[in-house]
């Protein structure tokens, strides 16, 4: 069986992937898109990810093999397209870089001066 893979009409975007060692747990009441954290780079190119009250440091690396992000499209029986099969895939993006966060998250603490008696 041959399944056609097409390019997106707007062109193919380039994405990056974030690799974390561990799990992200979310509250059950959040079912929609949520803000996970803030990502920023310093002048030397080190990536910093802040999630809640934790901070992670990582680096950007190239992937050995790129990954394609595909969107599946199922054609109905009465479709007017001249396609032999009922399913095709469209390439939405290519992932060529990943942000690798290997270390354990460090808690963000605030130094509060002790009151002097």
The secondary structure of 14-49, three-state, reads EEEEEEECCCCCCCCCCCCCCCCCEEEECCCCCEEE
Query: pTM for the whole thing?
Result: 0.66
Q: How far is CA 116 from the centre of its chain?
A: 48
Least trusted range by pLDDT, from 25-29, 58-62, 68-72, 99-103? 25-29
Residue 18 reports pLDDT greater than 70? yes
Six-digit token pair at 111?
A: 């130094």
Residue 80 reports pLDDT greater than 60? no
Average pLDDT rounded to a whole number, residues 89-95: 87
Least trusted range by pLDDT, from 62-71, 75-84, 93-102? 75-84
The pLDDT of residue 1:
45
Burial (CB count within 10 angstroms: exposed 0-12, middle 13-18, buried 19+), residue 56: buried
Least trusted range by pLDDT, from 25-29, 36-40, 48-52, 90-94? 25-29
């Amino acid at each position: 069986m041959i399944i056609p893979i097409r390019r997106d009409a707007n062109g193919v975007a380039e994405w990056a992937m974030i690799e974390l060692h561990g799990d992200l747990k979310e509250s059950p009441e959040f079912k929609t898109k949520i803000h996970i954290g803030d990502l920023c780079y310093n002048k030397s190119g080190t990536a910093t990810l802040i999630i809640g009250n934790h901070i992670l440091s990582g680096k950007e690396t190239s992937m050995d093999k790129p990954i394609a992000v595909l969107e599946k499209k199922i054609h109905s029986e009465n479709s007017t397209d001249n396609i032999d099969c009922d399913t095709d895939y469209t390439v939405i993006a290519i992932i060529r870089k990943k942000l690798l966060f290997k270390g354990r998250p460090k808690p963000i603490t605030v130094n509060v001066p002790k009151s002097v008696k």
